[in-house]
Amino acid sequence: MVRKLKHHEQKLLRKVNFLEWKSDGGHREADVMHRYHIQAREDYHKYNKLCGQIRQLAHKLAQLPPTDPVRLRHERLLLEKLYALGILATEAKVSDLETKVTVSALCRRRLGVVMVRLKMAENVSGAVKMIEQGHVRVGPEVVTDPAYLVTRNLEDYVTWVDSSKIKRTIMRYRNELDDFDLL
């Protein structure tokens, strides 16, 4: 328990805010890194830079005349690409790029977060451990990097490795375990 500040102490500390520092950026970075279990700060900065570049591109496209065929084609291509990555919804417009293309939107496409959404893991940190231990594959390849971004198409192909003990336990629970699989 902290004591209440005296009048002269309050007066001296009136302009100092100990909860928000300018260098922290409002703790946004730490919150996102904790929520999506990002282990490398460089990943967050790469996502942030990518979001900024997408916004810049959208801003430059917005400077072209509205009926310009180049503008219309590139806006459509950009929106289709972001939809295929899973960052935007289908009914997205170019004006949504300012608000909906965020670091959190990119982090929601990380393999650990997708595993939690698919009910393959209880929480993101547990999913990250399973990924690092080599229990998860996307398509035919085993993925050991938790920063792997899963597109909408690949989301259906996230599954357990055939030799995984987790897969064997799930199959035993469902009475689908075959003795031939153990060989």
Could you tell me if 85 and 151 lie in one domain?
no
Burial of 121 (0-12, 13-18, 19+ CB in 10 A): buried
Could you tell me if 33 and 101 lie in one domain?
yes
pLDDT (tens digit per residue) in 112-165: 999 999 999 999 999 999 999 999 999 999 999 999 999 999 999 999 998 888
Boundary-marking domain end, from 54, 88, 107: 107
Could you tell me if 119 and 153 lie in one domain?
yes
Whether the pLDDT of residue 21 is over 80: the answer is: no
Task: Tell me, yes or no, whether 131 lies in a domain.
Answer: yes
Boundary-marking domain end, from 107, 125, 142: 107
Could you tell me if 58 and 121 lie in one domain?
no
pLDDT (tens digit per residue) in 79-109: 999 999 999 987 788 888 888 899 999 999 9
Hey, how many other C-beta atoms are within 10 angstroms of the C-beta on 174?
A: 8
Please give the model's pTM, rounded to 2 decimal places. 0.79
CA distances to 39, 67, 137 from 132, in Å: 12, 49, 11
Which alpha helices (DSSP H) does the chain contain, by range? 7-12, 28-35, 41-62, 69-85, 97-100, 103-107, 111-117, 124-133, 165-173, 179-182
Q: Which two tokens mark 1?
A: 């328990």
Task: Tell me, yes or no, whether 124 lies in a domain.
Answer: yes
Q: Which two tokens mark 132?
A: 């690092």
Q: In the prediction, which pLDDT does 1 show?
A: 61
Whether the pLDDT of residue 182 is over 60: the answer is: no
Could you tell me if 159 and 98 lie in one domain?
no
Task: Tell me, yes or no, whether 6 lies in a domain.
Answer: no
DSSP-derived 3-state class of residue 160? strand
Boundary-marking domain end, from 107, 125, 156: 107
DSSP element (H, E) containing 136? strand 136-138
From CA 127, how far away is CA 135, in angstroms rounded? 10
Could you tell me if 46 and 93 lie in one domain?
yes
Residue in the structure block whose two tokens are 């929106």: 79
Task: Tell me, yes or no, whether 49 lies in a domain.
Answer: yes
Could you tell me if 138 and 169 lie in one domain?
yes
pLDDT (tens digit per residue) in 49-86: 999 999 999 999 999 999 999 999 999 999 999 999 99
State how many domains the chain has: 2
Phi and psi for 158 in degrees, rounded to 5? -80, 120
Q: In the prediction, which pLDDT does 95 show?
A: 84
Domain range spanning residue 130? 111-182
Q: In the prediction, which pLDDT does 19 show?
A: 58
From CA 181, how far away is CA 163, in angstroms rounded? 9
In b/e form, how buried is each residue of 127-150, taking b as 16+ CB within 10 angstroms?
bbebbeeebbbbeeeebeebbbbb
Could you tell me if 69 and 128 lie in one domain?
no
Whether the pLDDT of residue 28 is over 90: the answer is: no
Could you tell me if 82 and 142 lie in one domain?
no
Could you tell me if 121 and 169 lie in one domain?
yes
